[in-house]
Amino acid sequence: MRDEAELLRDIRRELLRASREKQKETRERRERERAERAANWKTRQAREITYLGPGVSAGLNHVESDEAKLRDAGLPQLGDAASIAAAMGIRVGELRFLAFSRDVSRVSHYETFRVAKKSGGTRTIRAPRPRLKAAQRWILEHVLDRVPVHEAAHGFRRGRSVRTNAEPHVNQAIVVNLDLADFFPTVRYPRVKGMFQWL
């Protein structure tokens, strides 16, 4: 009977030891997997932008493009966030920071102030701060300035002015001058995204 009790104790000890060993192996495996996931996430964050806020994150890493169309237009072929950031001379983290949706960001990349209108009242101006302005300038110089613009467009074009806009209308019987109130705030993310996808 004593041998049987001792045998049972030995079996229990062995089962407990095996169980503890298995638990240790499981803990170590899970820790390795967690560390691997963290390293993969860090690597992914260094080259991709996966989230910019609700309503603007879908398709961020959709990298399909018409390379021939870009080449023919003299536009840079930038296949992902890492290549865009590298071309701009910044890190992907900086690009993410500048692009994060202003609806949920705690940081504003714009300085807001008012200027007097000639007609009376004030106009609200939202001017980009230096870091965003530098990124916008890069996009202007390397992308947008290379895209053909309709001949009738005069606003925000080099070599064009109120005068060049008015010249074709001199000596006309009727000239209508319109100013779209608060136009720029109506240009929302889907329109901007669509324009760049069209390129």
Using DSSP bridges, classify how beta strands 122-128 and 110-116 pair: parallel, antiparallel or unpaired.
antiparallel
Judged by phi (left if over 0) then psi (alpha if -120 to 50, else beta), residue 150 lies in beta
**Predicted pLDDT of residue 21:** 94
For the entire predicted model, the pTM comes to 0.73
Q: What count of other Cβ atoms lies within 10 Å of the Cβ of residue 83? A: 15
Each residue's pLDDT tens digit, 90-122 = 999 999 999 888 777 788 899 999 999 888 888
d(CA 49, CA 56) in angstroms, rounded, equals 11
Q: Which residues of the chain have pLDDT under 50?
A: none
What residue spans of the chain are helical by DSSP H?
A: 2-47, 67-72, 81-88, 92-99, 130-142, 162-166, 189-198
d(CA 153, CA 161) in angstroms, rounded, equals 10
**Predicted pLDDT of residue 32:** 94
Q: Which residue has the tokens 């079996």?
A: 11
Q: What's the DSSP call for residue 129? A: P
What backbone torsions phi and psi does residue 97 show, to the nearest 5 degrees? -60, -45
Domain ranges of the chain: 1-46, 48-160
